Structure 1
């Protein structure tokens, strides 16, 4: 049988593995940071009606500039943003891919701060961009001095700042973001995929865009909007950045159905985001109960919690899976990660973990 090694694949892709998380049918899946709350029924009906109307015109190409959607996204973000400062694609991963296609590439480098979102490195390699990582401060924090020192050392063409960070959940201060934006020669991307789950009053990097034409703020509808299956990501930046992204996008890259579904969700933004407060409450509940069980939950501004103090992450992962609970082993020593789900899902996870923690064959390091 022909193997991948038998094909004339690019040398820099040999030996690599594609991104992926376990996909298993379990009663409680809390491993990929999805919003586990269903879309409200009335919103779902409106989205279906809009998609049905779009189907009648599928013989025609969609709006190449997805102008109506960009306008709706601009209104949602606020901060005085206009349609000329908004871009969207099939999930925030494609948004990031467009950025690396336009500003990365052979002979160029992108910098991230490990541990961080594993797709950054994969997107870099897929676009022929060198992927460089620098370390973080204690407890996965990232202060301005550490971040700027790495920028000055590596002089990257693109800097990727995950705010809050995935997989650790660590919030990122505007002080660090502005320091990096002012120190970097190239493009600085602030990935705010989980921003809606931040504590109320937390300022967005959108407040830093004015006067910084090389700063980009990326968002997604996958998380807070419970729209992971629709694949809609977007960004805000200077209009000239949007012009650059047009050079690399595929023609008509956002289907008419995607545009219609996203417009339906945005038309009900308040109702769609009503579940965020509950998710935030479950996240905080998880952190409190993990600490009570002897684990170490790390600071989180997202819809998930990374926790340390796990003696054998693989064994605990499997023990939870046997009980119908799927969480994530992100490869950090002594750590596991869990998504904040519904109240019932959170209860099931905490009860299962308490049982595992007290089991003689799955010892916990405290």
Structure 2
């Protein structure tokens, strides 16, 4: 039987599943994972924590994942209370729960593309209408202007607004006035600031966490997949008003975070200084890529994330294929003339730059 023969929801017909290519190549720099394995002390701490839970798997996990929320509040700081933290199986599930609670049929979400491609996909799964906002209307590039964002929020009157800082795929961080403008332009919309790459931001880049006091409709989402090198564990979280967490309790599945997930995440958070030790090394490779690309005749977008978007390519799809033939996998994000590369190890950066130089020379 084909998919078309099943009684699928009409709004899902013709949709394509999300997924970046998972190819066995020497240099894999397409999904913004950390190229660094967990440090040995962290790996041992996680294994020991999980081992302690295994004998108790006959019991359901702590439904409120209290210890994990305590550790997340401690890690984030900003005087956040445990009641203001929520976690799920990756930040994608957090976003799904937000849309289940505040979106749905007859409601609208506004995002400013290009941004994280899962935002409209998750929105669609909840039968929430998606509106593509304009990016760079004032400057002609990928930036967001506070006045223009406020105007679009007023014109659209959405129920949920998505902002991404640092933005994926551009890597650019948002000024806080953009977040304030979006929040103030609507008296009822939930404003979601996706800060999945916040730990990689350049010095002095502010977090929307500073705006939470007095703004109960503002939430900030984070992940342990990137800076914590914990992508395989699937742990994401948000900070917001305690009432937001109460709303998410209405839509979460029972015991949605397993005992093993909770134990692994708590162990990793308690090893945060060790895990985050690689962030500076990744930033250095990101900045190395940004500095090197103009010499190859392509233009990078200055980045506050662990990746670099670069443009000026005559045929991005062909360049992607040529890089793959050289054993380097990057991401075609669907922007004409642009590709995105994750900042990896020094050797991976060298391999990427060497392959790109060869590819561009061959194309000439």
Partners of 1:6 and 1:118 in 2: how far apart?
28
Q: Is the 8 A contact 2:146 2:182 kept in 1?
A: yes
Task: Answer yes or no: is 1:314 the counterpart of 2:313.
Answer: no
Which position in structure 2 is the counterpart of 1:225? 228
Partners of 2:355 and 2:38 in 1: how far apart?
27
Deviations 1:92-135 (A, max 9, x none): 00000000000000000000001111111110110010011111
Q: Is the 8 A contact 2:99 2:126 kept in 1?
A: yes
Which position in structure 1 is the counterpart of 2:74? 75
SS in 1 for 2:141: helix
Which position in structure 2 is the counterpart of 1:182? 184
Q: Is the 8 A contact 2:151 2:185 kept in 1?
A: no
Residue 183 of structure 1 deviates from its aligned partner by: 1.2
Partners of 1:293 and 1:146 in 2: how far apart?
35
Q: Is the 8 A contact 2:88 2:257 kept in 1?
A: yes
Deviations 1:192-233 (A, max 9, x none): 000000012221100000000000000000000000000000
Residue 139 of structure 1 deviates from its aligned partner by: 2.1
Deviates more, 1:68-77 or 1:178-187: 178-187
Deviations 1:127-165 (A, max 9, x none): 010011111112211110121111011000000001111
- Match 1:147 to one of 134, 146, 149: 149
Q: Is the 8 A contact 2:173 2:205 kept in 1?
A: no
Which position in structure 2 is the counterpart of 1:352? 355
- Match 2:168 to one of 155, 166, 189: 166
TM-score by length of 1: 0.97
Q: Is the 8 A contact 2:301 2:310 kept in 1?
A: yes
Deviates more, 1:292-301 or 1:250-259: 292-301
Which position in structure 2 is the counterpart of 1:303? 306
Residue-pair matches, total: 360
Q: Is the 8 A contact 1:139 1:298 kept in 2?
A: no
Structure 1 runs of 4+ off > 4 angstroms? none
- Match 2:200 to one of 170, 173, 197: 197
Residue 187 of structure 1 deviates from its aligned partner by: 0.3
- Match 1:260 to one of 257, 260, 263: 263
Deviations 1:242-264 (A, max 9, x none): 10000000000000000011011
Which position in structure 2 is the counterpart of 1:289? 292
Which position in structure 2 is the counterpart of 1:328? 331
TM-score by length of 2: 0.98
Which consecutive residues of structure 2, in runs of 5 or more, have no partner in the other structure? none
Partners of 1:316 and 1:186 in 2: how far apart?
41
Deviations 1:270-319 (A, max 9, x none): 11001001111100100111111110101211000000011111111111
Q: Is the 8 A contact 1:191 1:217 kept in 2?
A: yes
Residue 181 of structure 1 deviates from its aligned partner by: 1.1
